[in-house]
Every structure is written in C-alpha cells, then in structure tokens.
Amino acid sequence: MSLRVKVYSDGADRASMLSMAQDERVHGLTTNPSLMKKAGVSDYVGFCKDILSQIRNKPISLEVFADDLNEMRRQALEIKTWGENVYVKIPVTNSDGKPTTDLVHELAHQGVKLNVTALFTLNQIFSVCQALKGGAPSVVSVFAGRIADTGRDPIPTMKAALEMCRSMDKNMELLWASTRELYNIVQADQIGCDIITVPFDLIKKMPMLGQDLVEMSLDTVKTFKKDADSAGFKL
C-alpha cells in the first residue's frame, strides 16, 4: 500500500531504534521520558547522545523533562545543540496545567525546531499553532489514539487540526500520536496528516496493509489446524 503520511517509530529500546533508523518505511523517530523509563534508561543525556551518534540522517524528537518553565527553556536550548536532526519535544502544559505557549513561541522564534506534544483539544491546538507560526520548522502532536480511548472519534479533531496547521504556516506539520492499530495509519493518510508515530511492534506488521482477505482467512484456518494437530486434541 502506498502511503503519503510519514511513519515515525516511537519507542526507547536502543536496538529497535537503530533497526528502525535503517528501515526505509521509517522517516523519523520519537521518544519520551515514559518510554525511556519503560526501556530501563537511567542516563538521559548519555542515551540520547549515543542514539544521535548513530542516527544522523532522520529527524529525532527528544523531550524535555523539567516541570518549571525556566528549566524547560534551559533543557530545550541544550538539547537543540545535540544535532541538526533534533526536534525538541515540549508538552502543551506543565504538570500544574500551566500552558507552555509563551515558551513555545519564544523557542520557535529563536530557531529551535519543536515538537509540541500531549495536545488533545482544539483550543490547545489553535493556541500552539499561533505560538509556532512564523518560527522554525515544527510538529504539532495530537494524541488521536488517546482521544479514541475515551470513546470519542478523533477524526474531526484531526481534520480541524490539519486545517489550522495548513492555514498558519507551511513549516508546521501535524502528527497523529498514540497509534493503537494499523488502521490508524490508513486513517492518518486519508485525512492528510503529515506524520504518524507508530510503536516498533506495529511497524513490523505494516506488510499486512492491503493484504488479501481471502488469503488471510485461509492462513487463519491453517493456523488453527496446525495448533490443534500439534496439541494432540481428541474428541
């Protein structure tokens, strides 16, 4: 299946990140503090610089972990220096709910390439797009998968977000975040999203896109038979 949307791998396992960087289907990489903790990363700086020494030809989004906005600024400016392919991830608010839009505007207009993350509402998206407008190349990450987890259809939000990005700045890209299934890639592609972040395990399933359903049915039946035979079931 031919896709226009750019697939970014999402994770923090070193071996998987290096493997994904060599995969022609993957156009970039993202990670975050939660994924790093899950992967057992303890040295944030050491891990990031090691990855960046190995991956230089694809964009990588690395997130600040400070909660104070001044410290967030300092971390962002430091992370920026680690490579030309680095996008600095800034959450839309800190943990107290204080918006980061003023900081986003400041950094974007200082030439820091940003990936503004954890966006859920149209008000958040509009404010972030306004802050990024006229600045360095940027990514607007809307958590479509988590919106869907609440029982809401994320498509109207993503379509509206895309219109905001397109109308404000050609250097602004919309990212479909928190992908749950392969069909999300098709959805993101159909509405015109620029990027979708996909976990390692789902990227491995991408050859299934567009697969013949009759063949899949037969393969499923063969699997049932093989497993029943190997288990020695009798009736």
Token couple for 108: 């974007």
Q: Computed from CA positions of residues 201, 206, 226, 220, in that sequence, does the dihedral angle turn out positive or negative? A: positive
Comparing C-alpha atoms, which of 75, 73, 81, 78 is closest to residue 102?
Answer: 73
Please indicate whether residue 89 is annotated as part of the active site: yes
Catalytic residue (one of 6, 89, 113, 133): 89
Helix (H/G/I), strand (E/B), else coil: 139:
strand
Q: How far apart are CA 12 and CA 4, in angstroms?
A: 25
Strand partners, 7: 26, 196
Written as one string, the DSSP assignment of 146-162 is HHHHTT--SHHHHHHHH
Q: How far apart are CA 96 and CA 141, in angstroms?
A: 20
Q: Any idea which residues carry the catalytic annotation?
A: 89
